[in-house]
Amino acid sequence: MPRYALKIEYHGGPFVGWQRQTNQPSVQGAIEAALAKLEPRDHNIAAAGRTDAGVHGLAQVAHCDMEKDWDPFRLSEALNYHLRAQPVAILACVSVADDWHARFSAVERRYLFRILMRRAPATHLKGLVWRVNNLLDADAMQAGADYLVGRHDFTTFRSTICQADSPVKTLNRLDVTRVDGVHGPEVQFDVRARSFLHNQVRSFVGTLERVGAGSWAPEDVKTALEACERAACGPVCPPDGLYLAGVGYPDDPFA
């Protein structure tokens, strides 16, 4: 069966997350329903990462197997037609080898998190940012973030319901940048690793927000990391503002 890689953009607000759930709207379910319009049967697509409820996708990657030999452009156009009522779009579609896998072939996941710093409620960005009332010190947050980069036991920043075999992960990058946007100043996080624990990024951001607000010192992040106890983590931030921004492969199929 011909296999195709899909690059997908979506707004996570209406969905319970990426993963298909019975009688619940999911991104996976929406795309599989669109595929069934093209080839009437059960479809089971695989994605690079399973985003939670309210988390957005800028460049999620999934693959699907089709019975017909589709032109990739026509397949993407047909899927977008059937997805037009949903906040989901196929940005690109390419033919890949039968053994290529959206999840297992990936070598890096990239997440973006956005904090909007203003007292007024978010209107245009509602659901797309985490709004905080006060300005945060991005330099202090970066100093705290630097303690997290590298290979560590991330038990402190791991959800209690995480199903990963080990809490040890290698964090490739955690960059904190202030951006003066049209809707107000933001702090943006660029977080990269081969794989993540459940709620790891949101635990990082919630903890570092405490540093930016002056409630924690940057060194307190190191103390929390070394404690290897969930109770040592700062507050877990809401999913608003979190985006799966990209997936890296040894040979980018979309290049």
What is the DSSP secondary structure assignment for residue 17, as one 8-state letter? B
Domains 3-105 and 108-246 share a fold: yes
Token pair for 152: 């560590």
Catalytic residue among 42, 52, 139, 146: 52
Instruction: Check: CB of residue 12 under 8 Å from CB of residue 23.
Output: no
Give the rounded percent of residues in the chain with a pLDDT score beyond 70.
100
Helix H or strand E segment including 13: none
Tell me which residue of 104, 107, 106, 80 sits closest to 93, measured CA to CA: 80
Residue with tokens 């996570």: 12
Q: Is 199 exposed, middle or buried, given 0-12, 13-18 or 19+ CB atoms closer than 10 A?
A: buried
Question: Stretch 224-243: mean pLDDT, rounded?
Answer: 97
- Active-site residue, 71 included: no
pLDDT tens-digit map of 25-76? 999 999 999 999 999 999 999 999 999 999 999 999 999 999 999 999 999 9
Which residue(s) pair with 131 in the sheet? 116
Q: Predicted confidence band at 236 (pLDDT cuts at 50, 70, 90)? A: very high
Boundaries of every domain in the chain = 3-105, 108-246
What is the DSSP secondary structure assignment for residue 122, as one 8-state letter? P
Question: Stretch 125-133: mean pLDDT, rounded?
Answer: 97
Question: How far apart are the C-alpha atoms of 220 and 144, rounded to whole Å?
Answer: 8
Give the rounded percent of residues in the chain with a pLDDT score beyond 90.
98
pLDDT of residue 237: 97
pLDDT tens-digit map of 146-191? 999 999 999 999 998 998 999 999 999 999 999 998 999 999 999 9
Alpha helices in the chain (DSSP H): 27-38, 72-82, 138-145, 200-212, 218-227
Mean pLDDT of the chain: 97
pLDDT of residue 229: 97
Which residue(s) pair with 108 in the sheet? 248
CATH 3.10.50.40 fits 108-246, yes or no: no
Question: Stretch 118-146: mean pLDDT, rounded?
Answer: 97
Q: Per DSSP, which regions of the chain are E strands?
A: 3-10, 46-47, 56-65, 88-96, 108-117, 130-132, 150-153, 168-181, 184-193, 242-248
pLDDT of residue 242: 98
Question: How far apart are the C-alpha atoms of 175 and 188, rounded to whole Å?
Answer: 8
pLDDT of residue 225: 98
Task: Tell me phi and psi for residue 48, to 5 degrees.
Answer: -70, -30
pLDDT of residue 118: 97
Q: How far, in Å, are 64, 100, 155 from residue 196 at the CA level?
A: 23, 21, 12
What is the CATH number that goes with domain 3-105? 3.30.70.580
Q: Predicted confidence band at 127 (pLDDT cuts at 50, 70, 90)? A: very high
